[in-house]
Amino acid sequence: MSRPTRAEAEQAVRTLLRWIGDDPDREGLRSTPERVAKAYEDWFGGYREDPVEFLRRTFQEVEGYDEMIVLRDIRFESHCEHHMAPIIGKVHIGYLPARKIVGISKLARVVETFARRLQVQEAMTAQIAHCIQDVLKPKGVGVVVEGTHQCMTTRGVRKHGVAMITSQLLGHFRSDPRTRNEFLTMIGRPNVVG
Protein backbone atom coordinates (compact mmCIF):
# COMPACT_ATOMS: atom_id res chain seq x y z
CA MET A 1 0.00 0.00 0.00
CA SER A 2 1.52 3.30 -1.06
CA ARG A 3 1.24 6.22 1.29
CA PRO A 4 -0.63 9.25 -0.11
CA THR A 5 1.23 12.54 -0.40
CA ARG A 6 0.70 15.44 1.97
CA ALA A 7 -1.16 17.27 -0.83
CA GLU A 8 -3.51 14.29 -1.27
CA ALA A 9 -4.19 14.22 2.49
CA GLU A 10 -4.99 17.93 2.49
CA GLN A 11 -7.27 17.46 -0.53
CA ALA A 12 -9.13 14.71 1.37
CA VAL A 13 -9.79 17.19 4.20
CA ARG A 14 -11.11 19.73 1.69
CA THR A 15 -13.44 17.02 0.34
CA LEU A 16 -14.74 16.27 3.85
CA LEU A 17 -15.32 19.97 4.51
CA ARG A 18 -17.40 20.19 1.33
CA TRP A 19 -19.20 16.95 2.22
CA ILE A 20 -20.37 18.31 5.61
CA GLY A 21 -21.73 21.37 3.82
CA ASP A 22 -19.06 24.00 4.39
CA ASP A 23 -16.80 25.94 2.04
CA PRO A 24 -13.10 25.05 2.38
CA ASP A 25 -12.22 28.33 0.65
CA ARG A 26 -13.85 30.58 3.23
CA GLU A 27 -11.43 32.56 5.40
CA GLY A 28 -11.75 30.47 8.57
CA LEU A 29 -11.19 27.17 6.76
CA ARG A 30 -8.47 28.05 4.22
CA SER A 31 -5.64 26.68 6.40
CA THR A 32 -7.68 23.87 7.96
CA PRO A 33 -6.52 21.11 5.58
CA GLU A 34 -2.87 21.90 6.38
CA ARG A 35 -3.59 22.08 10.12
CA VAL A 36 -5.47 18.77 10.07
CA ALA A 37 -2.62 17.03 8.23
CA LYS A 38 -0.12 18.35 10.81
CA ALA A 39 -2.38 17.24 13.66
CA TYR A 40 -2.67 13.75 12.16
CA GLU A 41 1.13 13.51 11.96
CA ASP A 42 1.23 14.19 15.70
CA TRP A 43 -1.81 12.16 16.78
CA PHE A 44 -0.73 9.11 14.77
CA GLY A 45 3.03 9.36 15.26
CA GLY A 46 3.02 5.89 16.80
CA TYR A 47 3.13 4.37 13.33
CA ARG A 48 6.64 5.81 12.92
CA GLU A 49 7.96 4.39 16.21
CA ASP A 50 8.97 0.91 17.34
CA PRO A 51 8.00 0.35 21.00
CA VAL A 52 10.50 -2.53 21.27
CA GLU A 53 13.36 -0.05 20.83
CA PHE A 54 12.34 1.81 23.99
CA LEU A 55 12.69 -1.37 26.05
CA ARG A 56 16.05 -2.55 24.70
CA ARG A 57 18.15 -0.48 27.13
CA THR A 58 17.85 -2.25 30.46
CA PHE A 59 19.63 -2.26 33.79
CA GLN A 60 20.86 -5.50 35.29
CA GLU A 61 22.61 -4.11 38.38
CA VAL A 62 19.61 -3.81 40.66
CA GLU A 63 21.13 -5.16 43.89
CA GLY A 64 18.95 -8.26 43.74
CA TYR A 65 15.66 -6.34 43.56
CA ASP A 66 12.97 -8.82 42.55
CA GLU A 67 9.74 -7.26 43.81
CA MET A 68 6.95 -5.77 41.73
CA ILE A 69 7.55 -2.55 39.82
CA VAL A 70 4.44 -0.48 39.12
CA LEU A 71 3.94 2.66 37.09
CA ARG A 72 0.40 3.92 37.38
CA ASP A 73 -1.74 6.71 36.00
CA ILE A 74 0.08 7.03 32.67
CA ARG A 75 -2.20 9.40 30.78
CA PHE A 76 -2.86 8.56 27.15
CA GLU A 77 -4.77 10.01 24.22
CA SER A 78 -5.66 7.71 21.35
CA HIS A 79 -8.27 7.43 18.61
CA CYS A 80 -10.70 4.58 18.04
CA GLU A 81 -10.32 2.82 14.73
CA HIS A 82 -14.08 2.68 14.19
CA HIS A 83 -14.91 6.41 14.27
CA MET A 84 -11.47 8.05 14.63
CA ALA A 85 -12.82 9.71 17.77
CA PRO A 86 -10.57 10.32 20.79
CA ILE A 87 -10.07 7.80 23.58
CA ILE A 88 -8.64 9.48 26.67
CA GLY A 89 -7.58 7.72 29.83
CA LYS A 90 -4.77 6.19 31.81
CA VAL A 91 -2.72 3.03 31.84
CA HIS A 92 -1.31 1.17 34.83
CA ILE A 93 1.63 -1.19 34.30
CA GLY A 94 3.24 -3.64 36.69
CA TYR A 95 5.92 -6.25 36.16
CA LEU A 96 7.99 -8.70 38.19
CA PRO A 97 11.58 -8.41 36.96
CA ALA A 98 13.49 -11.61 36.29
CA ARG A 99 17.02 -10.28 35.76
CA LYS A 100 16.66 -6.80 34.34
CA ILE A 101 14.63 -3.62 34.71
CA VAL A 102 13.91 -0.73 32.40
CA GLY A 103 13.75 3.01 33.03
CA ILE A 104 10.20 4.02 33.93
CA SER A 105 10.01 6.63 31.17
CA LYS A 106 10.44 3.79 28.69
CA LEU A 107 7.21 2.18 29.92
CA ALA A 108 5.40 5.47 29.30
CA ARG A 109 6.92 5.63 25.80
CA VAL A 110 5.61 2.15 25.02
CA VAL A 111 2.13 3.31 26.03
CA GLU A 112 2.48 6.46 23.96
CA THR A 113 3.60 4.56 20.86
CA PHE A 114 0.64 2.18 20.88
CA ALA A 115 -1.81 4.95 21.85
CA ARG A 116 -0.73 7.10 18.92
CA ARG A 117 -2.20 4.64 16.42
CA LEU A 118 -5.81 3.92 15.51
CA GLN A 119 -6.87 1.57 18.28
CA VAL A 120 -9.37 -0.67 19.95
CA GLN A 121 -8.75 -0.46 23.70
CA GLU A 122 -8.68 -4.22 24.16
CA ALA A 123 -5.98 -4.57 21.49
CA MET A 124 -3.92 -1.69 22.89
CA THR A 125 -4.00 -3.30 26.35
CA ALA A 126 -2.70 -6.59 24.96
CA GLN A 127 -0.09 -4.89 22.76
CA ILE A 128 1.43 -3.05 25.72
CA ALA A 129 1.52 -6.16 27.93
CA HIS A 130 2.94 -8.48 25.27
CA CYS A 131 5.59 -5.96 24.20
CA ILE A 132 6.87 -5.71 27.79
CA GLN A 133 6.69 -9.48 28.27
CA ASP A 134 8.44 -10.27 24.98
CA VAL A 135 11.32 -7.80 25.43
CA LEU A 136 11.98 -7.76 29.19
CA LYS A 137 11.01 -11.40 29.79
CA PRO A 138 9.87 -10.72 33.37
CA LYS A 139 8.17 -13.26 35.64
CA GLY A 140 4.90 -11.53 34.86
CA VAL A 141 3.21 -8.39 33.53
CA GLY A 142 -0.03 -6.68 34.42
CA VAL A 143 -1.63 -3.90 32.36
CA VAL A 144 -4.92 -2.17 33.18
CA VAL A 145 -6.30 0.52 30.88
CA GLU A 146 -9.12 2.90 31.79
CA GLY A 147 -10.49 4.86 28.85
CA THR A 148 -13.29 7.27 28.03
CA HIS A 149 -14.40 6.85 24.44
CA GLN A 150 -15.62 9.99 22.70
CA CYS A 151 -17.36 7.83 20.08
CA MET A 152 -19.75 6.90 22.89
CA THR A 153 -19.91 10.20 24.79
CA THR A 154 -20.22 12.70 21.90
CA ARG A 155 -22.24 10.69 19.37
CA GLY A 156 -24.52 7.67 19.25
CA VAL A 157 -25.81 6.86 22.75
CA ARG A 158 -24.11 9.98 24.25
CA LYS A 159 -23.42 8.44 27.65
CA HIS A 160 -21.19 10.68 29.77
CA GLY A 161 -19.18 9.60 32.79
CA VAL A 162 -18.63 6.09 31.42
CA ALA A 163 -15.14 4.54 31.47
CA MET A 164 -14.11 1.25 29.93
CA ILE A 165 -11.61 -0.88 31.86
CA THR A 166 -9.54 -3.57 30.17
CA SER A 167 -6.74 -5.73 31.52
CA GLN A 168 -4.08 -8.13 30.33
CA LEU A 169 -2.35 -10.29 32.93
CA LEU A 170 0.57 -12.51 31.98
CA GLY A 171 2.82 -14.90 33.90
CA HIS A 172 2.55 -14.63 37.71
CA PHE A 173 -0.02 -11.84 37.36
CA ARG A 174 -2.37 -14.40 35.81
CA SER A 175 -1.39 -17.56 37.70
CA ASP A 176 -0.84 -16.23 41.22
CA PRO A 177 -3.85 -14.55 42.89
CA ARG A 178 -1.56 -12.90 45.47
CA THR A 179 0.52 -11.21 42.77
CA ARG A 180 -2.61 -10.12 40.91
CA ASN A 181 -4.18 -8.71 44.10
CA GLU A 182 -0.98 -6.89 45.06
CA PHE A 183 -0.87 -5.22 41.64
CA LEU A 184 -4.54 -4.25 41.66
CA THR A 185 -4.23 -2.86 45.18
CA MET A 186 -1.15 -0.83 44.21
CA ILE A 187 -3.02 0.80 41.31
CA GLY A 188 -6.02 1.49 43.51
CA ARG A 189 -8.26 -1.03 41.77
CA PRO A 190 -8.65 -4.04 44.10
CA ASN A 191 -11.01 -6.69 42.76
CA VAL A 192 -11.22 -5.15 39.26
CA VAL A 193 -9.98 -8.36 37.66
CA GLY A 194 -11.09 -11.71 39.08
Measured from the Cβ of residue 166, the count of other Cβ atoms closer than 10 Å reads 19
Determine which one of 11, 83, 130, 150 is catalytic. 83
Asked if 172 is an active-site residue, the reply is: no
* Calpha distance 166→143 (Å, rounded): 8
- Choose the catalytic residue: 11, 49, 130, 151: 151
Q: Is 82 a catalytic residue?
A: yes
Of 79, 80, 119, 127, catalytic = 80
Q: Catalytic: which of 41, 53, 82, 122?
A: 82
Catalytic member of 8, 41, 81, 122? 81
**Catalytic residue of the set 121, 127, 133, 168:** 121
Residue 12 CB burial class (10 angstroms; 0-12, 13-18, ≥19):
middle
Known active-site residue 83: yes
Active site residue 149: yes
Residues ≥6 apart with Cβ < 8 Å to 173: 94, 96, 140, 141, 142, 179, 180, 183
Q: Which of 149, 168, 172, 182 is catalytic?
A: 149
Our answer to whether residue 151 is catalytic in this structure is yes
* Cβ contact 135:56 at 8 Å: yes
Residues that are catalytic: 80-83, 121, 149, 151
